[in-house]
Amino acid sequence: MLCTGCESLPQIFDCPAVKQKQEKKAAEETAEPAESVPKAEPKAVSNTPQETSKSSSATPSPSPSSSTSTATSTTPSTITPVKSPGSTQSISQKQKQLVEAANWAKGRNYLTVNGTRFKMDCSGVVRAIYYKAGIDLAKDFNKYGGGGTQRIHETLCAKGLIYRPTVPVPGDILFWDNTYDANHNGRSDDMLSHIGMVVSSDKKSGNVVYVHHHEKKGIVFEKMNLLHPNDPNYNAIMRSQRARKLPGNKYLTSHLYKDAGKGYLLR
């Protein structure tokens, strides 16, 4: 039992009851301020715009060059005009279709388009490629005589579509003379003996890639350059070894080139 007046006595008196009450009171006084102070909430890790902004402000700004590099890496590449492989000029949608058809035909052993089977020779290949692009080169064949190459040439000539460019463009139909001794007379008098089509060309260098039917290799891509007509590094061999002995010794694709036709303009 606590005696009256003991609470007011100095702490030097060793009164257990007073001492116990004082300790209890002190503990309550110490606890009260702690309860009145709002509890600090733990800081959460977040990616909110505000926190990102604060973080960015604390980070030194990147140099102009690094900023440009970042923008470039995230920007989609620019869409360029339609071009044929290796070509330096833009081409029409129809010419693009012809180039695609040439790539489709390359290396095939037979050509069937929309149920139509085409002959595996030079004119048959060009006809199939054009037919796949939606153009029937044989539509007026009944008006002309001769083989397929001659008839295609006559068809284009009648429409004013024959010309002789130094650097033919993709889709142009190429015509050659004297690619072989067709009439077996030992002379260079075999006109319009071969046909092909340009797949790509470069106006500056003069390099032309064309598709045609090779007697031994089948449907292949080969090269021609009329700016370097006597250089076999730029021009494919078009005549056989035996035919090269014919007068004039003309055997490269550039030597035998006759003219070209804009078949893609046919309607």
The better pLDDT of the pair 16, 63 is held by 16
Q: Is the pLDDT of residue 261 over 80?
A: yes
Q: How confident is the model at residue 53 (pLDDT cuts 50, 70, 90)?
A: very low
Domain ranges of the chain: 93-265
**pTM exceeds 0.75 for this model:** no
How is domain 93-265 classified at the CATH fold level? endopeptidase fold (from Nostoc punctiforme) (3.90.1720)
Question: In the predicted model, what is the mean pLDDT of residues 44-51?
Answer: 39
Residue 182, pLDDT > 90, answer: no
pLDDT digits (tens, 9 = 90+) for 69-99: 333 333 333 323 334 444 546 899 999 999 9
pLDDT for 37 equals 41
Please check whether residue 94 is in contact with residue 84, taking contact to mean a CB–CB distance below 8 angstroms.
no
User: Which carries the bigger pLDDT value, residue 118 or residue 47?
Assistant: 118
pLDDT bucket at 21, cuts 50 / 70 / 90: low
Predicted pLDDT at 90 = 84
Among 28-42, 62-76, 223-237, whose mean pLDDT is lowest? 62-76
Per-residue pLDDT at 101: 98
Task: Find out whether 223 and 237 touch, Cβ atoms under 8 Å.
Answer: no
Q: Residue 239: its pLDDT value, please?
A: 85
Look at residue 20 and tell me whether its pLDDT is greater than 80: no
Instruction: Say which residue, 98 or 68, is predicted with more confidence.
Output: 98
Q: What is the residue-averaged pLDDT of the chain?
A: 77
Of 8-22, 46-60, 187-201, highest mean pLDDT: 187-201
Of residues 182 and 45, more confidence is placed in: 182
Higher pLDDT, 186 or 206: 206
Spatial separation of the C-alpha atoms in residues 192 and 80, rounded to whole Å: 37
Average pLDDT in the 85-114 region? 89
Please state which of the ranges 37-41, 66-70, 201-205, 227-231 shows the lowest mean pLDDT: 66-70
Which pLDDT score, from 0 to 100, does residue 241 have?
A: 57
In angstroms, rounded to a whole number, what is the distance separating the alpha carbons of residues 228 and 164? 16
